[in-house]
A and B are shown apart, each in its own frame.
Chain A
Amino acid sequence: MSSCGKNENPQEMNRRKFLKVFGGGAVASSAALYGCAPKNEPGAAVVLGEVPTDKMTYRQHPTNGDKVSILGYGCMRWPLKQGSDGKDQIDQEAVNRLVDYAIEHGVNYFDTSPVYVQGMSEKATGIALARHPRNSYYLATKLSNFQNYTRENSLAMYRQSFRDLQTDYLDYYLLHSIGGGNGIELFNDRYINNGMLDFLVKEREAGRIRNLGWSFHGDVKVFDYVLDMGIKWDFVQIQLNYLDWKHASGRNVNADYLYGELEKRGIPAVIMEPLLGGRLSNVPDHIVGRLKQQRPENSVASWAFRFAGSPDGVLTVLSGMTYMEHLQDNIRTYSPLIPVTDEEKDFLEETAQLMMKYPTIPCNDCKYCMPCPYALDIPGILLHYNKCVNEGNVPKSAQDENYAKARRAFLVGYDRSVPKLRQANHCTGCEQCNPHCPQGIDIPKEMQRIDKFVEELKVNG
């Protein structure tokens, strides 16, 4: 389960610390429980069973034979803690613990990027993985040359990845998030005109890159163009989940098309956003009820993971797991993967349609928009709004039945989630965030819409 890794807000940090401490404690105490609980007394551990270490489903890469675990570790949401200088830093001990646990339980694919987690992800991932034999896992990272795509800077970024990841070869290397901006033109600028793609193909020949591919968000023309531009792609990373399958939001492309095109060409698909940053786990109550009714002992998130892992052409499903509990839940779901049946697919399609009725904003909390130069907490604002949408706390008018309660929940919750000076009313509309949003959200427009709504709530007490 991909985390809802909203943080930085001190209270949130506390909660995170709290979870960390007690989460760790829970692991220890449940381990103790196995040891001493009488066999026929059903405690929590007995009901759920131990997290399996040897049941993970693996997919074989069609050309190179890599056996990749269906659960891939996305290194975009590593747990943070506050350093002595007041700045965020990655909680390396927690990362080590998560990585060790993942590998112990059969996870062998780790996906990172130079820009993740304020630029700290590769180093932290490298430190954690260097403690394991290099041939026990596959390493994926990306050429994330969004800001400065000169050849020099792109090469520097490529080489820095080797150093930070403490490796001399990369198993999977991606052109990061193509299809954004002005489409093919930007793609050419980032990878063709500067000769980087040629360079990377040569690196593949030299064996420093074992598999070359790309991740995609946005303009379908770029997807079609790059797919057939005459280069052998070893894999492609796409956004796929039961909502995006047929109901992609904004300028995103339906996943059934993307996956279909890959399948036709026999290119393995790496799946990102299987849970939409937690949006498919944090759903309105009646949808929780609906999913739980079918499989009461499985998590809401497990549906999304089963759906994403079911197509045969899927090599691995990436999940950015911040918390141990998420990691454990996902390992359970995939040990082994029970593919969704046709009936279940229909059931999830109906569920998707129910979800579409909620006017949430398709933010997956990836934080690519951050830091906002005017200090807003963009994902914090959007997540709070979505939470209120899902909980029915976005009243349409002051005449609504539960107006007073909803108003209080929205406003009090807003101040709790986002410090006043980072709220939507400080948006200047500079639009510097927009090109970074992989979901194509018009962020200033949403900020101003939410701000207007907040203003109305405040005035109509």
Chain B
Amino acid sequence: MLWQALGLGLGYNATLVTLGAAMLGIAAGATGVFLYLARRALVSDAIGHATLPGVVAGYLVMVALGGEGRFLPGLMLGAAVSAGLGLACVSWLAARTRLHEDAAIGAVLSVFFGAGVVLLTVVQVLETGRQAGLETFLLGATAGMLRAEALGIAAGGAAVLALVVLLRRPMVAVAFDSEFAAGQGVNLRAVDLAMMGLALAITVVGLKVVGVVLIVALLIIPPVAARLWSERVSVIVALAGAIGGLSGYLGAAISATAPGLPTGPLIVLASFALFTLSLLFAPARGVLAAGLRYWRFQRRVHLRQGLLALASGYPVHDPLTLRLMRRQGLVRADGVVTPAGRAMAARARLDERRWHMLRSLPEFEAAAARHDGLSPLSEVLTPDQLAALDRRLGPEGAL
């Protein structure tokens, strides 16, 4: 059954829902990148939780007006209004009081959610038990989703994605250096509003699929995973969209095979799995790659320091340094330096003196900036530059 679901073979409805979730994931991933870059990732948590009172209030209003109550666009409207109000409260608290933004986010998130919970129980009190439909908004449910709803979600996702693509340049500029962007004429307030507005739109569109509590995950996990693979914004946005889309797809497909399980957690776990893979294996910032780099760097530092100590006639005490030098054959087991060690020490010392000379000469400033203090200068300078430097060092230069 799972393979059928993954292969979109479970029928028209299920296919539509899965594709809608995928579209939502793509849009959420892309939108989330800008929030992440602007360090406002957790504001989405406030937006997500703040939708709850609006959803329930929307339901109550629609019922009061004689309608069905569970009309999705009406609920979405309610969600948007209360989330917008929540956002305004976050800004106001952070700007007008001594509280910092994290406190404002946490307060709005929990209080609005609490108010929403009260309203949910109000519905219970007033009512006839039809609230079962509303509680699925907490954690998301694709089971029993209407065709129109699924189409609407796909369309909403696509619309947000289009807006993200349209607005990407100013958003990137502001996220990177807001003062510079302002100097270039970008309207900071408008861009900030746009970014938050897009996050709000994603939240509202995705509410039914992922749920109030977990929609934030779709705005955070794919961007963070994508960030591990690249340093270029356009690549990150594309990757985040891909990861988000894949998560939505997988989560919704699996959810179709198990209608008793809420969809939100499944989508979130799918994206977390992709994140973990990225964290471990991404070449740029993955754990394995970084660990290897650090370990190698540490060895180079220790070896270099050991050689310099030898060259200057100081004893070496650091146990790690001694071990490394012994292993490289620079020092004998009994602690006496070997001929190879002597040669390497002399070379290290020469390089060190070249390095000092290099840093004091303005004409070498560019080269100096590239040097990391460890690699031999022959890797950084051209043979001509190296020769010029050695001439400066004078007769002691060539040991």
Partners in one complex: no
